[in-house]
Amino acid sequence: MAKLVINETKKLGTVAPEIYGHFSEHLGRCIYEGLYVGENSDIPNVNGMRKDVVDALKEIQVPVLRWPGGCFADEYHWKDGIGEKSKRKKMVNTHWGGVTEDNSFGTHEYMELCKQLGCKTYVNGNLGSGTVQEMSEWVEYMTFDGESPMSNLRKENGSEKAWTVDYFGVGNENWGCGGNMTPEYYGNEYRRYQTYVRQYDDKKPIKKICCGANVDDYHWTEQVLKTCFDHAPEHLHGFMDLLSLHYYDMPFGWEPKVSATEFDEDVYYRTLKQAYRMEELVSRHSAIMDQYDPEKKIGMSVDEWGTWYKVEEGTNPGFLYQQNTVRDALVAGITLNIFNKHCDRVKLACIAQMINVLQSVILTDGEKMLRTPTYHVFHQYRHHQGAELLESSLSGTGSIGEGATCVPEITESVTEKDGVINITLCNLSMTDSKALDVQLAEDKDYEVVEAAVVGDCDPHNHNTFENPDLVVEKAFDGCKKVAGNKFTLNIPAASVVEIRLK
Ligand code: AHR
């Protein structure tokens, strides 16, 4: 019999709320149409931000939002996106569909969006094609409250008070679209650029994010850290707060891309296997980080993760618009369980992307909006934000399949917050439910205070604008108490279950 043993007396660290972060890029219909429709739109909006979307996002408690890219960030010149909108410079979005970017969503609009969402800010700077001066002035524009050229310009543009920049990315994917650099070259550039990311407010220091590796490029991690920390004068210590990692779940690598909604058993398990690979990637990059930072002062920021399939038929291939099924809900559940378990190192993560691009939590079509299965998992898992990770382990569970399709039957993570124990479980089997006993350590009389399931249906199921609530988070009544600290449950096939005990 499969068993989950929880030792609620052993707390292993705090799950940073920012692990539940999101990524929004000037790509396809993520910013324009998805988040921002402009003040004059017929779609209900507050200062240009879609009201329905913001309201839905508030329900999942978005902790942080990364912007403006992605590859777009390393071609973005922030001064084009400030001031009177009709006078803003237009540019070609060369990376994403070659469309005209009118810069109507810029720094002020991003800050307004984060204010409405009540989330932290993560601005990604341009190291690939921008200058040190440009990056430095952007930071001054956003965060300096005194008398200075950039601060005065911000005031002229209507924002008297400086904003808080919680995180600042010093370049994006500089091994690729951000300049095709070698790790040694980037490491030196990081040292230089970050120097001018000034801290204007001691009480709200900006956390600087260094560009980390793509997938399993351990050489990049090793060499960037070596370059940054070897021969570094004492004052350089503490100049890097996080190191990023980007990993997309592509069942067959870059090609061929698979459909978001039509897949057979083989592709289903391949996709979940790729999701589970996050465990190995986080562990191995973290082990390299341990050599330079044994005290784990530098966090890992998995600031791009999610599934990447074929675009939906009839849509612009450069817009990366894809549907989202129960299979994606499982990818989300598996990945977030891994992040929870690695909360000693993973301090931030952003699903790519928030709306209408790749593994989105929301899709829109004109004035219509729907929540994807992935959204519902983020809603279930919101209880983990800021909670304490508890020691927990599974026994008596095996794996399904072999080789490229071999996955664990179940994955789990357990946290505690405000006296409530949050258990999240993924049953990866496409066909079979799984019986599980749960045993807690303390001799207490626990009760199930809340239980919910996403899935428990055909894993191909997805929400459409005609049927937006086919896959939702449903109450789960399959968890039964056997004794004060013992429970038993049956986890439905292809489902993500959350049980809360008090
Ligand atoms: O999320 C889409 C793209 O994937 C991002 O722009 C880039 O950083 C990554 O390669």
Mind listing the pLDDT tens digit for each residue in 156-176?
A: 999 999 999 999 999 999 999
Domain range 2-9+389-501, CATH architecture = Sandwich (2.60)
Do residues 77 and 134 lie in contact, with contact meaning Cβ atoms separated by under 8 Å? yes
Residue 89: which of 99, 104, 69, 75 has the closest Cα?
A: 104
Mutate to test the pocket of ligand 1, among 67, 173, 250, 309 (most ligand atoms within 8 A of CB): 173
What is the per-residue pLDDT across 419-456, written as a single tens digit (0 to 9) for each? Answer: 999 999 999 999 999 999 999 999 999 999 999 999 99
Atom of ligand 1 nearest to the CA of 95: 6
Average pLDDT over residues 322-337: 98
- Phi-psi category of residue 473: left, alpha or beta, with phi > 0 → left and psi -120 to 50 → alpha: beta
Q: Which residue has 């300049």 as its token pair?
A: 179
Going from the Cα of 27 to the center of ligand 1, the distance in angstroms, rounded, reads: 9
Per-residue pLDDT tens for 368-401? Answer: 999 999 999 999 999 999 999 999 999 999 999 9
Q: What's the pLDDT at 232?
A: 74
Q: Summarize pLDDT for 80-134 with one digit per residue, the tens.
A: 999 999 999 999 999 999 999 999 999 999 999 999 999 999 999 999 999 999 9
Question: Cis peptide before 353, with omega less than 30 degrees from 0?
Answer: yes
- Average pLDDT of 180-193? 97
Percent of the chain with pLDDT over 70: 99
Nearest-angstrom CA–CA distance, 335 and 130: 33
Mutate to test the pocket of ligand 1, among 22, 76, 246 (most ligand atoms within 8 A of CB): 246
Return the ligand 1 atom nearest residue 73 CA.
6
CA distance 206 to 136: 13
- The protein residue whose alpha carbon is closest to atom 9 in ligand 1 is 70
Query: In which band, very low, low, confident or very high, does the pLDDT at 231 lie, cut at 50, 70 and 90?
Result: confident
The answer to whether the beta carbons of residues 428 and 475 sit under 8 Å apart is no
Residue 345 CA to ligand 1 centre (angstroms): 23
Q: Among 62-76, 156-170, 226-240, 376-390, whose mean pLDDT is lowest?
A: 226-240
Decide if pLDDT at 237 tops 90: no
* Structural domain spans, the chain: 2-9+389-501, 16-386
Distances (CA, A) of 466 to 55, 324, 363, 368, 370: 21, 15, 13, 10, 10
Ligand 1 atom closest to the CA of 214, numbered from 1: 10
Examine domains 2-9+389-501 and 16-386 and report if their fold is the same: no
Long-range pairs for 148-155 at CB < 8 Å and ≥24 separation?
153/82, 154/82
Instruction: Characterize the bridge pairing of strands 64-67 and 120-125.
Output: parallel
Q: Which of 15-24, 205-214, 236-245, 402-411 has the lowest mean pLDDT?
A: 236-245
| Residue 236: predicted pLDDT | 62
Which residues does ligand 1 sit against, CB inside 6 Å? 25, 69-71, 172-173, 304, 352-353, 358
CA-closest residue to ligand 1 atom 2: 70
Is pLDDT of 238 > 90?
no
Task: Give CA–CA dist 358/425, Å, rounded.
Answer: 24
Q: What is the pTM of this model?
A: 0.97
Residues assigned a catalytic role: 173, 304
Q: 309 CA distance to ligand 1 centroid (A)?
A: 13
* Omega before residue 81 within 30° of 0, cis: no
Q: Choose between 233 and 480: higher pLDDT.
A: 480
If you measure from the C-alpha of residue 458 to the centroid of ligand 1, how many angstroms do you get, rounded to a whole number?
30
Q: Which CATH architecture best describes the domain 16-386?
A: Alpha-Beta Barrel (3.20)
Instruction: Give residue 211's pLDDT.
Output: 98
**Region 198-214 average pLDDT:** 95
- Whether pLDDT at 283 is above 70: yes
Tell me how far apart the 2 most distant CA atoms of the chain are, in Å: 69
- What does the pLDDT look like over 284-326, one tens digit per residue? 999 999 999 999 999 999 999 999 999 999 999 999 999 999 9
Pairing between β-strand 474-475 and β-strand 479-483 as defined by DSSP bridges:
unpaired
DSSP secondary structure string, 251-280? EEEESSPPPSS---HHHHHHHHHHHHHHHH
**CA 155 to centroid of ligand 1, rounded, Å:** 33
pLDDT of 233 reads 67
Running DSSP on this structure, what letter comes out for residue 90?
P
- d(CA 359, CA 355) in angstroms, rounded, equals 8
Residue owning the nearest CA to atom 6 of ligand 1: 70
Query: Tens of pLDDT along 44-56?
Result: 999 999 999 999 9
Residue identifier of the C-alpha nearest atom 4 of ligand 1: 70
